[in-house]
Structure 1
Amino acid sequence: MALVSVIIPTYHRSSYLPGAIQTALGQTHDEVEVIVVNDDASDTATLNALAEYTDDSRVTAINNTERRGISASRNQAVAHADGEYLCILDDDDRWRADKIEQQLTRFNQLSSEYAVVYTGGEIWSTGEPRRVLKQFSPPESRIGEIYPEVLSSWGMSPHSGHMIRTDAFRAVGGFDETMNHGEDWDLSIRLAKRYKFDAVDEPLTIRLSHDENVSSKRAHANQRKDILAKYPAPILNDESIGSEFFSKWHAERGYHQLENGKHVAAIRDLWIALGYKPTTQRAVLFVISLFGPRVFSSLSDLSRWWRTVMANRTSNQPRV
């Protein structure tokens, strides 16, 4: 059986961390090691949480005396990994029990050209009763050879759904520790230049929605700025990639402007998005923006309610 290394970076998340460790140890695939990098060795609550696993040989804890950041912590975990495959896991994410087993089954059906098998996912509310707020499905455009299309948008959320061949991860140099945002997207770009991707189209990964999420809307808004800074030539020199990249960027900006009540700025960004690459969805959003923030807010509430209803009709929530 293949050994799978689960890497968990954590920073002041003692209330979430035990659930992440348990979701990894509770997999139907038995050959699992868990490597936790605690980015603050002075955090007593996290140390106490990790002390519960002192006698469990499957769990390795690394405590940093100086904060290194999420990318460096992940690379640090991989440096200690013995597994043939790596599974990314954030401390506030959870898995269905057969997630690793299903991914290994898929990998066994693929050639060595493939470096990543990822999964679909869900976002859950943290209150009781828990509700599914949103679902993610792997898009067809992110299967097989996905470069250079992956430059226009990532499209493979959540990152905790990714299983990566360890040798491929190391071959591309791991996470870029200089990036402040979009390090998961950047890693996928570098992997996609050399390898193929596949996916298990089931919601096997769960992201918990709460106020402390690192992947905040502001961070997402800054991803494109950092990706463009790192890959200016392939984005700017390919008309199709560039138009999609900038159209999505301005559409995202426009949407966030509407959420924050910045009506005029939203109209400007959405109009620019349509200029780069018009789509029905972007056109509808632009028309909605013309009616002002109140109409947008009402329609957004209705849309979220409908997505939640539909998601909960199809979701079988596991115990986590």
Structure 2
Amino acid sequence: MNKLVTVIIPTFKRANALPKAIESVKNQSYKEWEIIIVDDNAPLSEERKLTTKVMSEYSDSAQIKYICHSENKGACQARNTGLEAARGDYIAFLDDDDLWIETKLDKQVSALNSSGADICYSDMYQEYKGLRRYFTCVNDNDLYVSLLKQGFGICTSALLISTQAMRAINGFDNSLPSMQDYDLLLRLSKKYNAIRIAEPLITYQLADDGISCNPVNKANGHFGIINKHQEEYKRLALYRGLARQFESLADFELRSGNRLKAIKHYLKALSVFFTSPRVLVKLVVGSLFGKAPLEYYLMKRLEHESTRIERKT
């Protein structure tokens, strides 16, 4: 008998995106699933009305459950709400603006069943303003250490995790304003084995109104990660990884317009791990010219990666 997968879809101000996300699950070759939609819109808002209207089209489906928050609590708590209601053996997360290829669940369930691991993830495509690039996720050999070195996590839509493992670590940390996926994977991979599928099974949509493009939330998220996991970095002597956290914190402070805070954190990154020409360049250029050069560099890098992958496809 196939194991049941619970797919948790948090939604907030994106009612129009829900049908595509739901169809992405319904089109899966693996059919043993349930969907839990967690509506995080304010109860009396126009967005709640629109979302309720969309979900009324699925009211006859026994595989789709619709849960409404009594107030806006954030995507992190919405995922935890879905986890509490889940009946599946495995948990998958799908943001309402991301899409899966049709074999995503099939391949990940097979990988978990054959490997005995509790965490499965895949590579992915990233899309932003018409640009597209292939994103290779970190290797699964000692995922915990690899993630600490990398300095950021894995898109939640690319994950399949055993329900037992998710509940054992109490789900997402709702106190973090961002980087919750990174923190979750650090706590999971410290206790459980992982397996990576080295092909893109999802398309991850970067959106202007999403947390991925909110530098203030990202800065606060990296600050929270540093406070929570700094001692682990030091215990394992992963000073380059800790320096990357301070560098990322500085990047997002700079992009938020906080030049002095950015300078402070670039200097902290250099004090933790000095031999980083990239941080030195960011420190000097950011001090002189503010955020514009960094924003220009990030867009050009995305354009380059998009052009490279489009030529291959």
Instruction: Give the TM-score normalised by the residue count of structure 1.
Output: 0.83
Q: State the shift of 1:137 in Å.
A: 0.8
Matching residue of 1:318: none
Q: Distance in 1 between matches of 2:174 and 2:257?
A: 35
CA, structure 1 residues 313+279, in 2 after alignment: closer, same or farther (shift >3 Å)?
farther
- Is residue 152–residue 179 contact of structure 2 (8 Å, CA) maintained in 1? no
Quick check: 1:89–1:159 contact (8 Å CA) kept in 2?
yes
Report deviation, 1:207: 1.8
* Secondary structure at 2:143 match in 1: coil
| Residue 205 (structure 2) aligned to one of 203, 208, 217 | 208
Please state if 1:84 is matched with 2:83.
Answer: no
Equivalent residues of 2:226, 2:245 under 8 A apart: no
Match of 1:28 in 2: 29
Once residues 204 and 302 of structure 2 are traced to their aligned partners in structure 1, the CA distance between those partners, rounded to angstroms, is 17
Query: Does residue 150 in structure 1 map to residue 153 in structure 2?
Result: no
AA aligned opposite 1:9? P
Q: CA deviation at 1:287?
A: 6.8
- Contact residue 249 and residue 265 of structure 2 kept, 8 A: yes
Report the CA distance between 1:198 and its aligned residue: 1.5
- Equivalent position SS for 1:82: coil
Q: Is the CA contact 2:120–2:194 (under 8 Å) kept in the aligned structure 1?
A: yes
Distance 1:290 1:204, change over 3 A: same
What is the aligned length? Answer: 305
2: CA distance between counterparts of 1:258 and 1:79?
38
* 1:219-269, Cα deviation, whole Å (9 max, x unpaired): 22222221233335323x42623x234411332244346656777765664
In the alignment, is the contact (CA less than 8 A) between 2:124 and 2:201 conserved in 1?
A: yes
What letter corresponds to residue 240 of structure 2 in structure 1?
Answer: E
Give the unaligned 5+ runs of structure 2. Answer: none
What is the one-letter code of the residue matched to 1:249? Q
Matched, 1:198 2:201: no
Cα distance between partner residues in 2 of 1:76 and 1:302: 39
The runs of 5 or more residues in structure 1 that have no matched partner are 316-320
**Alignment RMSD (CA, Å):** 2.8
CA distance in 1, matches of 2:299, 2:136: 22
1:115 to 118, 138, 142: 118
CA deviations over 1:27-81 (Å, ceiling 9, x no partner): 1111121111112343100000111111122111112223333222212212222
- CA drift of 1:160 comes to 1.0
For the 8 Å contact 2:90–2:162, the answer to whether it is kept is yes
Check 1:104–1:306 CA distance in 2 against 1; reply closer, same or farther (3 A cut): same
Distance 1:177 1:286 in 2: 32
Partner of 1:240: 237
Relative to structure 1, is the Cα distance of residues 22 and 168 closer, same or farther in structure 2, using a 3 angstrom cutoff?
Answer: same
Q: Which residue does 2:77 correspond to in 1?
A: 72
* Higher mean C-alpha deviation, range 165-174 or range 245-254: 245-254
What code does the residue aligned with 1:223 have?
G
Per the alignment, residue 217 of structure 1 pairs with 215
Instruction: Determine if contact 1:119/1:203 at 8 Å carries over to the other structure.
Output: yes
Give 1:213 deviation, angstroms.
Answer: 0.6
Q: Check whether the contact 2:246–2:266 (CA below 8 A) recurs between aligned residues.
A: yes
Alignment of 1:2-151 (within 5 A): 2-40=3-41, 41-42=43-44, 43-111=48-116, 114-125=117-128, 130-132=130-132, 134-140=133-139, 143-151=140-148
Higher helix share: 2
> Which letter maps to 2:22?
I
Equivalent position amino acid for 1:139 in 2? V
Q: In 2 relative to 1, CA 234–78 (structure 1 residues): closer, same or farther, beyond 3 Å? A: same
Q: Check 1:259–1:74 CA distance in 2 against 1; reply closer, same or farther (3 A cut).
A: closer
Give identity over the alignment, percent.
25
Matched letter for residue 247 of structure 1: A
Q: Does the alignment pair 1:306 with 2:311?
A: no
Instruction: Determine the C-alpha separation between the residues in 2 that align with 1:178 and 1:256.
Output: 19
Change (3 A) 1:213 1:299: closer
Q: Would you say the 8 A contact 2:148–2:186 is kept in 1?
A: yes
Q: Find the aligned partners of 1:4 and 1:253 in 2 and give their Cα distance.
A: 35
Asked if 2 retains the 8 angstrom alpha-carbon contact of 1:121 and 1:157, the reply is no
Q: Measure how far apart 1:298 and its partner are.
A: 5.3
